[in-house]
Chain A
Amino acid sequence: MAESKLLVKGAVPPPLDRELTVVGKPLNRRDAAEKVTGQAKYSGDMKLPGMLYGKTLHCPHPRARIVRIDTSKAEALPGVMAVLSKENTKGWRTSWYEVPELAFPELITHEGIEVAAVAAVDVLTAQKAIELIDVEYEVLTPMLDAEETLKAPPPALIADEEYPGREMFDRKPFVIQRGNLEKGFEEADVIIEETYTTQVSHHGTIQTRACIASWDGENLTVWDAIQGVWNSKLALAKSLDLKPENVRVMVKYLGGGFGSKAWSQRITYYAARLSMITGRPVKMERTRSEEFINHSRRYDTKMYLKMGAKKDGTLTAILQRAIVNTGAAATEENYYCRQIIWHTANLHACPNVYLEQTGVYTNRQTTGPTRSPMNMQAIFALESHMDRMAVELGIDPLDFRMKNYATYQSVGTAEAHLTGDGTTTFAAKIPYSSKILDECMKLATDAIDWKKRSRAPVVSQSPVKRGMGMSSYLVLQGVGLFPYVAEAKVRIKHDGTINLYVGVVDIGGGQKTILGMIAAEELGVSSDAVTVIIGDTQDTPYGPSCHASRCTPEMGPAVLQAAAEAREKLFEHAAILLDTDHKRLGSKDGIIYVKSDPRRSIPFKKACQNMGVDESIVGLGSRAPNPAEPMMATFGAQTVELEVDTETGRVTLLKCVAAQDFGKPINPKLCVSQVYGGIEFGVGFALTEEGLYDPKTGKLLTGNLSEYRMPTPLDFPPVEVYLPECEDPFFAYSAKGAGENTNAPTPAAIRNALYNATGVWFNDLPITPDKIIRAMREGTKGVS
């Protein structure tokens, strides 16, 4: 066992020096019983006495100016208790990702922005009031397509039109470079260039956002549908000019997030303000179509890649130019300026690279975290291009990837520079804290019988063609800096009660179960001996929003440290009863024992009783930020076998294999579920999901679940999951994250399998039947 370098502030807890009895077990999730019985109350299921219902009015244009807004008829409607609009909220700002946005702007920067909010005694009255609001708009020409927008001069700002944080990135290329690109291409025997595009996509959580805010004259209590309670609490307090201690945010159950609910969003602020005005609780819920137009979406991108390699497969040069449509109101913080080029810089070893990412502000909806917000697009282009190179070189795609295997990383995600920043090159070779991508690639290809796959597409007379493809990936892991600070508290009471307090949300990933298991292992008790207090800012220390596969790697070390501190304090009580030194004690399965003579032992509960009745033990834990070195990432490989009917364009996924490097899974059962979720997202992104806009008006045409086609149970492929384990001394029990990273490789694996089946390279996602039929009819060999 490597020496523990656990990412905590202060002393690293001593190792357990025993086999694990909780961690690594496929335990059932803690909140499953409430969910299968319908007893779980999600935010939208709640009712409070005297509760009012809120509704919002949305601007139907992507770019427009409010010339006049008249809410008088709505205000006069019996049952209406309050109306908000720009007229009575001047200067009020809500917050998304800590970026203050005007709550009700005069100038509308994307379709669907709220122009008024109403609170009434029931939903129908609120809806009627919304319909009575009269708005006159001056409709402006929207910026829609990123490339066209780039060609046009930057827009002059009108009225209070705002692009918060836009100046940080808009139209500015961020660059990662190293070596000598020209020399690299000169050394190459094969050079291939290609352009890839990826589409707008949405989260599609089955629960739409819903919240209740209740103001009692001093304290604001919010039941929300969000992935982070602490970040939302602080942002709400700031917006409403309240002290943080007077704001409590709770999420007991969350019906899916995938990034869309990373923070509280505008309706929560409206509900809070309406409650503060009326003195009554206010409930607001988004309809499905509001959910589509009012939530951030996945960035649509266009990526040009040029790669050079020697005959033996050694990569010599990579040139990448990516354009990212950030939509409206993206900010430096939630626009990942470097993340579409970061993977290209690090996944495969290549000495000469020039990688450039340019973000473009448009009047499409905002963009933001969306289950691998940039990873999936970046990996799609990169791993598609790797297969293209492999075919041109006549090398098996697996061998080609192994030939260029990188044991190190050259650049962190936040390090790309704006052009003109100087001549910084990212040539360092910084090792990883752990990496077993090679093992993952072997497992994934073996499991699908990769040897069966021929290099050239199979020639058959049948219109149904069969093919296999693969993709690998890397995704960054954790940061530990604000707002992703992670703290934990463990309290043990006289009666043996153990409470773990974590200020995070169980978003469906099983955070409650996993963090409870880490505490239980470290304390030496069974998992169910630990009560987990989660999803509530009251009593819990600061915890990060659960997105970016971060909860286990961010919170894990803090929980482990808190539990270890509590255990060591309890051992001082046990040492008295066992007449020994507390440093000689160990604990396991609810028993505290002398390590050198385990027969000398007492039950955990008995040691607790040595405390006074009103006494309790508290252990605290705090995650340290990631160090500059080593680099931390998760890895994996996926393979796909599919059939495609070249006459109907129908793609049938016969089998998907996923081999993931999560370090060590705390709970393999829940990790497998995460992988299934990733495959679901990846399959949808590859084949069916696409947000479409009317090219003239710029309005979203696919704002419902029948037009926006997510995979259904009939589309779900058979999946085989492998979770090879490795040691990573920086994380709790070597547990890295498992979540959004799992969908990153799926689209490229599907696309590469489609080439293997048809001989056509599909470079534009999603690969819908019309694209396949067109390519086959035209007898296209090569690129479609």
Chain B
Amino acid sequence: MKSGVSSSGSKRHVVLTVNGKKVEADVDDRMTLAELLREELDLTGTKVGCNRGECGSCTIIIDGMAVYSCTTLAVEAAGKEVVTIEGLGSGKELHPLQKAFIEHDALQCGYCTPGMILSVKALLERNPLPTELDIRTAIDGNLCRCGSVPNILEATLEVSRKMAEKKRS
């Protein structure tokens, strides 16, 4: 048996961590992680724009990697650590990326925004000082139709710079 999964009837019991909290659910094998998050856990910050791994608005972080939750099965996330947009920041304090996105107007309609922020967050965790091209590459699987890309690049570079300054001082 895969860790975190057990079967009962037609459904499987999964245990995973979502935004630092242990979550248990009985899921259909065919249920996507996006469906589990949105429909069962009411974490609707994760958006579904195409449901076939093309637009990136459903991006979440699993064990440090940015992943499309619409093409990940809920059972695949068993035993893993999932971070959604609701898991950023603490209490009322926004995450530095969220603040920078607001400040740089790195969003318009806001529908791609949670996925964008999580793609960028995963990037900064593995590469704290990315080049502009690194950022473009990291978010290339996230479509933004409103044209926020230049501002997303600026916001990310600023956060990266500030993180580096903080580390030095």
Contacts and interface: CB of A to CB of B under 8 A. Distances in A.
Interface of A: 28-29, 31-42, 44-45, 47, 203-208, 253-258, 287-288, 507-510, 669-670, 672-681, 704-706, 710, 712-714, 716, 718-719
Given A508-B146, A670-B105, A710-B143, A207 B47 contact: yes
Contacts of B117: 36
Contacts of A710: 143, 145
Interface string B145-160: 1111111100000000
A508 B113 CA distance: 12
A256 B109 contact: yes
Contacts of B124: none
B106 to A, nearest CB: 8
B139 interface: yes
A716 B112 CA distance: 16
B110 to A, nearest CB: 3
Given A37-B45, A255-B110, A704-B52, A32 B144 contact: no
A288 B47 contact: no
Nearest to A41: B44
B98 interface: yes
Q: Is the interface of B mostly helix, strand, loop or mixed?
A: loop
A44 B114 CA distance: 15
A38 B87 CA distance: 10
B130 interface: no
Given A32-B110, A206-B143, A207-B109, 19 more contacts: A28-B103, A29-B102, A29-B105, A31-B110, A36-B85, A36-B98, A36-B107, A36-B113, A41-B44, A205-B145, A256-B145, A288-B54, A508-B108, A673-B108, A673-B151, A677-B146, A704-B50, A704-B52, A712-B141
A38 B46 contact: yes
Contact of A676 (B44, B109, B110, B150): B150
B62 interface: no
18 contacts: A29-B105, A32-B101, A36-B101, A36-B102, A37-B45, A37-B94, A205-B111, A206-B57, A206-B144, A207-B109, A253-B109, A255-B49, A256-B111, A508-B110, A673-B151, A680-B149, A704-B50, A710-B143
Contacts of B103: 28
A31 B55 CA distance: 23
Contacts of B107: 29, 32, 35-36
Interface string B77-97: 000000011101100001000
9 A-B pairs with least C-beta separation:
A38-B45, A508-B109, A35-B110, A255-B111, A677-B147, A38-B85, A676-B147, A45-B44, A680-B147
A704 B53 CA distance: 11
B53 to A, nearest CB: 9
A643 to B, nearest CB: 16
Nearest to A720: B150
Contact of A207 (B88, B89, B111, B142): B111
A206 B55 contact: yes
A714 B105 CA distance: 19
A205 B108 CA distance: 12
Given A253-B110, A704-B52, A704-B54, A718 B150 contact: yes
Contact of B49 (A47, A208, A670, A706): A208
A705 B150 contact: no
A678 B102 contact: no
B43 interface: yes
Given A29-B105, A288-B49, A714-B140, A678 B44 contact: no
Nearest to B86: A38
A750 B34 CA distance: 39
A149 B103 CA distance: 52
Contacts of A255: 47, 49, 109-111
A508 to B, nearest CB: 3
A706 B54 contact: yes
B13 interface: no
Contacts of A718: 150
Dominant secondary structure at the A interface: loop
Interface in B114-152: 114, 117, 135-137, 139-152
Given A41-B44, A705-B55, A716-B150, A206 B85 contact: no
Contacts of B94: 33, 36-37
Contact of B108 (A45, A677, A704): A677
A717 to B, nearest CB: 9
A36 B85 CA distance: 8
Contacts of B102: 28-29, 32-33, 36
A207 B49 contact: yes
B98 A37 contact: yes
Contacts of A28: 102-103, 105
Contacts of B105: 28-29, 32, 669-670, 672-673
Contacts of A719: 150
A207 B51 CA distance: 11
Contacts of A676: 146-151
Contacts of A40: 110
A680 B145 contact: yes
Nearest to A670: B105
Contact of A716 (B47, B54, B101, B149): B149
Contacts of A203: 145
Contacts of A681: 147
Contact of B139 (A33, A673, A679, A713): A713
Contacts of B146: 256, 508, 673, 676-677, 680
A205 B45 CA distance: 17
Contacts of A207: 47, 49, 57, 109, 111
A602 B136 CA distance: 52
Given A37-B98, A714-B136, A206 B111 contact: yes
A205 B147 CA distance: 11
A288 B50 contact: yes
A549 to B, nearest CB: 14
Tell me which of B38, B42, B85, B113 has the highest count of chain A C-beta atoms within 10 A of its own C-beta: B113
Contact of A713 (B49, B51, B89, B152): B152
B89 A206 contact: no
B148 A673 contact: yes
A42 B47 contact: yes
B86 A678 contact: no
B65 to A, nearest CB: 18
Contacts of A41: 44
A206 B112 CA distance: 7
A673 B94 CA distance: 22
A710 B114 CA distance: 20
B68 to A, nearest CB: 12
A713 B110 contact: no
A124 to B, nearest CB: 9
A205 B50 CA distance: 10
A679 B145 CA distance: 10
Nearest to A371: B145
